[in-house]
Amino acid sequence: MTIAAPVSEFLVLPPRLDDTAALLAAAARRRGLAVEQLAGPVVPDRRRHAPGGHLYGGPIFAGAVAADLDLVLLEPADDWLARLPYEYSRREIALTTLGEARWSRTPMFVKQPRDKTLPAGVYADGSRLPGDHTLSADTPVLVADIVTFLVEYRLFVLDATVHAASRYAVNGRLDPAPIGACQHRDAVLDFAESLLKGCADSLPSAVVVDVGLVSDADRGDEHWAVVEANMAWFSTSYAADPDRVLDVVLRAAGPRDRLTARDQVFTKNPTTSG
């Protein structure tokens, strides 16, 4: 069951639509929301400070239009993954700066917490990371032990409950499938229930969490672990039910006057690059 929205609600989309934006637009229209695809990062006068606005789009677009739409954008803290208990992360993870990471002389997985300017992946050592001409030394990055995810799932979380979900990768390759058709459905949802029960207060009420099955070659076993957390208003839906994904997106990027006290800490301004 999806969540009904007042008829005055509207969804703003960027000039170029990806597959997820198109699916969300169709879902929004089905429930009576107006859909406004902007020609550029400028809000038209008739939508400026109008009540009932929501958004789906990238950080540059969101950063340009959110204030004029009176929106708040929910996002997890940069260090959320690094602060997770080991039982959920299953690897050592640290939030540091790109400048510090460049000093490393060991292989590592490096990604930015929210921005996508730095290609996320395994680097043989810090010398392989981009120089200052690409990203400044104070750019925040997550540095993690290298692990192998056998299969990965995307969870759209609403009020500490998995509201929609999809498989998105198998053996590191894109392979979306509805979670109901996947052999790991029950294991994924059981792991998510434990994670959200223990860590829900450290996440926004509407967020995306990616989880995966890790192969531990040293111990000869497999276990579930969190891959990362992301903003729901800038996350690919893959094979998840778009109507239920829309429920999460509407909460994650919604009117400022509906912001709850609980979510105030998760309203950092979006990045303006990436």
Ordered DSSP codes for 204-246: -SEEEEEEEEEEETTTTEEEEEEEEEE-GGG---TTS-HHHHH
Nearest to 245 by CA among 176, 184, 190: 176
Q: What's residue 271's pLDDT?
A: 40
Q: What's residue 135's pLDDT?
A: 86
H or E stretch including 25? helix 19-30
Q: What's residue 21's pLDDT?
A: 98
How far apart, in Å, are the Cα atoms of 66 and each of 9, 30, 133, 157? 15, 24, 29, 22
Give the burial class of 101: count Cβ atoms within 10 A of its Cβ; 0-12 exposed, 13-18 middle, 19 or more buried.
buried
Q: What's residue 61's pLDDT?
A: 95
Asked if residue 252 lies in contact with residue 66, where contact means CB atoms within 8 angstroms, the answer is no
Q: What's residue 1's pLDDT?
A: 62
Nearest to 39 by CA among 12, 76, 1, 4: 12
Percentage helix, strand, coil for the chain under 3-state DSSP, each rounded to 5:
25, 30, 45
Q: What's residue 191's pLDDT?
A: 98
Q: What's residue 121's pLDDT?
A: 87
Q: Which residues of the chain have pLDDT under 50?
A: 6-7, 269-274
Return mean pLDDT, the chain.
92
Whole-structure pTM value: 0.90
Length of the chain: 274
Q: What's residue 63's pLDDT?
A: 93
Asked if residue 154 lies in contact with residue 229, where contact means CB atoms within 8 angstroms, the answer is no
